[in-house]
Structure 1
């Protein structure tokens, strides 16, 4: 008779998290100089408004046509039209909790129920003290498709603004609040 062992308990992410997750292309979802590219910049803040200086923000997104070069795309994987587009970026936070990612606007996506999801980025956040990554979405301001997006419209109206970026001179601003009055909406995935 074999002995059944229990599940190893989850542990918080340690203080050296960013060392193991650093990678050469980092914040560049597209190469510098890509037509239509812009920066998404923001800060990661704790419940008191203090910067989280050792976090990592990771993004995953569709290309401007709303497609993924990935076998899980139900329409089939397809190479993006933009040379060097990866659909993935990773940025460590700095001493002020700031992060930055260079990307392009994704296209709308079909949802499983036959509707359409508004253009958005999926963001994962890793930081000291978290047992698991936090997942949120970044939607674009003044996007007509936001009103019909099934995920965004499923969020309480008074909290939707925590998922919508603000226009900035070189792209968009999206601060992530881990707790508190302006806490960003996070999703259980």
Structure 2
């Protein structure tokens, strides 16, 4: 009979699957070369429940194109590892609004998934843009209690640069989606 073994978390093996160029969805030699839209940088910092930096996380994004479509015309997938201070950074185009449940329209957003040591399963959230008027009518954002919605709102840090810090647990924990 085989002895039972402890459960293992994923990682930290990100160096084996991290291709730094994947954090730039607009690189000249990439699949989005020539796609038009509002160029943005998405940055943030990942921290644990004690506020310590998660220096070994892998962050993935998935988004629609500027036209609000998930189509071959825009490759909306990116991946990057967090740095020693828990920071991540993506260069992409601001997504357009996308169809939602029923006949609703979802506000422009970017899906963000985090893989990290200590997580038995990755966590997924959304990045909305704080100045977006469509946020008020987004059917998914409306499911989040009003006092917690701010954990999903990226704020402008400089022209074209948006920041969303991620707290994995504890006070001010980011809202994660059960998908």
Q: TM-score, normalised by structure 1?
A: 0.83
Deviation at 1:38, TM superposition (A): 1.7
Listed as ranges, the gaps of 5+ residues in structure 2 are none
Q: 1:144 offset after TM fit, Å? A: 0.7
**Are residues 1:177 and 2:179 paired?**
no
Unmatched 5+ residue regions in structure 1?
1-7, 70-78
Q: If each structure's strand is expressed as a fraction of its own residues, which one has the higher value?
A: 2
Q: Give 1:120-139 correspondences, 5 Å limit.
A: 120-139=109-128
Aligned to 1:13: 10
Q: In 2, Cα distance between the equivalents of 1:144 and 1:99? A: 26
Stretches (4+) displaced over 6 A: none
1:142-174 Cα deviation digits (max 9, x unpaired): 111000001101101110000000101141011
Match for 1:29 among 4, 25, 29? 25
Instruction: Name the stretch that deviates more: 19-28 or 32-41.
Output: 32-41
| TM score, norm. by length of structure 2 | 0.87
